[in-house]
Amino acid sequence: MKICLLLRSKTMARKYLYLQGVSRRREVRPLLVTWLIISLSLVVLPGISQAGDGQDLVTAAHVGDVSLVHTLLEKGADVDHQVNNGVTALLSASLKGHVEIVETLLDKGAKIDHQAKGGVTALYIASQEGHAEIVQALLAKGAKVNLQTIDGITALYIASENGHEEVVRALLTKGAKANLANKDETALYVASKNGHEGVVQALLAEGATIDFQTRDGITALYAASTKRHAGVVQVLLAEGAKVDRQTRNGDTALIAASQKGYVEIVQILLAKGAKVNLQTKDGATALYIASQEGNEVVVQALLAKGATIDIQTKDGISALYAATTKGHEGVVQFLLAKGAKIDLQSKIGITPLYIASKNGYETVVLALLDKGAKVNLQANSGITALYIASQEGHEGIVQVLLAKGAKIDIQANSGATALFIASQVGHEATVQVLLARSAKIDIQAKSGATALFIASLNGHVEIVQALLAKGANIDLHASDGATALKVAKTAQIKKMLKAATSMKHKE
């Protein structure tokens, strides 16, 4: 009695493969073309005996039942019978690596270049799985070596991607085009990206274009560099890959390796003459990128090869600024020791000290100040490091800046002071520090608002209380005539202000 189950989903296919003892990830990896085959496989339980059933033939080929395949063929089964999506016995046997069955089917005249849905052939499937003996058998029978799937993928591409060197060499020997690209990549590119050194060598030996670029301008060298494949990088460079070829946004292999912190790749590229100061379209250099990512050893290597330390991006950001942004103290210290200009300002006037103060990196702030950073430099907006630290509530940094001579009452372009902004945001501890250092309490912003006004408006009870305790003027008006009492957000603050007003009148 014939009992078959058509597996129509990945889940069911996985369950079947598990029951068959197949658990290796590579045999069930979710590639579209693999699942095209696996998801349509037929599980046939013992007892198949009907003659001429092509569906049973596909199943027998898949599970590797040589005897049953011969029996079914002898009884007239259609050698090219297709199950859903065009899967044949030849494709199933090629997928599973059943060499004898493949040879039998070919001897019986199976269509060797039949393409299932998506354009998959037996040669493609065997190449994907690394079944070299089957690939050889198919090629010996005249399989078309350069057929492409609907995505433009060839047997050579998929074998190169998966690192099947023996298969790659067999395909190349039979005329596989090394430079036939899918929509965006070549076999060399994908082999380099995945670190398949032997495959890369084989492809180059057959004329693969070494500097082919994807739509984004990425080369094999760039791809290998980003994946830390040192051996592939060396092979490509030895074969003449252009070390400074840039992507669409101006990245180079050196910049990519510097970003990742792959110092061995960086050193290989530098030894081959990579230009250390090339910039991306945004003006970033390898040194900038390495500093931004905190890759100190790479920073050292780049500077040792002559990297210009103070090159700025189009936004005016230097390597020192970039390192400061993320609090990379070791890189900051090294750049400072190498003479980086400490007070370089970005296009909007921001300095490394400003950005370290904003982001709360106290040890970096101390390092910059110890090297002479100007504590009172103002950004284009008039904001200082003290102002921004107060805005962010970094109490410790506020104290450090004040100890180093920060002017406490400098006003931004808006007229706001450090005390004003801390009061607005609600950083009570910072307000207390500023008040203890005698910040002028009644300075008015351009809107006429004072620290008391803005704290009342935003409902910061403790700050209002602290300001009143220091004698804040409750009668000052904003430009629209409003007072702190008028804009007070909570009943508690209104009560406090009224009490202060009443006490003032009694005096």
Cα–Cα distance list, 221 to 262, 278, 301, 357 (Å): 14, 16, 20, 40
Give me the pLDDT at residue 38, please: 44
Give me the pLDDT at residue 86, please: 94
Give me the pLDDT at residue 52, please: 53
Report helix, strand or coil for 282: coil
- Ranges of each domain in the chain: 1-144
Give me the pLDDT at residue 389, please: 98
Give me the pLDDT at residue 151, please: 92
* Residue type for position 382: G
Give me the pLDDT at residue 32, please: 46
Quick count: other Cβ atoms within 10 Å of Cβ 239? 15
pLDDT tens digits, one per residue of 273-305:
999 999 999 999 999 999 999 999 999 999 999
Give me the pLDDT at residue 84, please: 84
Backbone dihedral angles phi then psi of residue 236, each to the nearest 5 degrees: -65, -45
Residues 6+ apart with CB under 8 A from 24: none
Cα–Cα distance list, 134 to 76, 104, 166 (Å): 24, 12, 12
- To 5 degrees, how large is the angle CA 281–CA 283–CA 289? 110
pLDDT tens digits, one per residue of 37-63:
444 443 333 334 444 588 999 999 999
CATH for 1-144, among 1.25.40.20, 2.40.50.660, 1.10.3720.10, 1.20.1530.20?
1.25.40.20
Give me the pLDDT at residue 388, please: 98
487 near 447, Cβ under 8 Å? no
Q: How far apart are CA 179 and CA 174, in angstroms?
A: 15
Report helix, strand or coil for 173: helix
Give me the pLDDT at residue 455, please: 97
Burial classification of residue 57, based on how many CB atoms lie within 10 Å of its CB (0-12 exposed, 13-18 middle, 19 or more buried):
buried
pLDDT tens digits, one per residue of 490-505:
999 999 999 888 876 6
Quick count: other Cβ atoms within 10 Å of Cβ 293? 19
Report helix, strand or coil for 258: helix
Residues of the chain with pLDDT under 70: 1-52, 504-507
Q: Which helix (H) or strand (E) holds 423?
A: helix 418-425
pLDDT tens digits, one per residue of 323-379:
999 999 999 999 999 999 999 999 999 999 999 999 999 999 999 999 999 999 999
pTM as predicted: 0.86
Q: Which helix (H) or strand (E) holds 102?
A: helix 99-107
Give me the pLDDT at residue 506, please: 62
Closest CA to 195 of 166, 233, 168: 233
Tell me, rounded to whole angstroms, the distance of Cα 276 from its chain centroid: 23
Q: How far apart are CA 302 and CA 373, in angstroms?
A: 25
Q: How far apart are CA 82 and CA 71, in angstroms?
A: 18
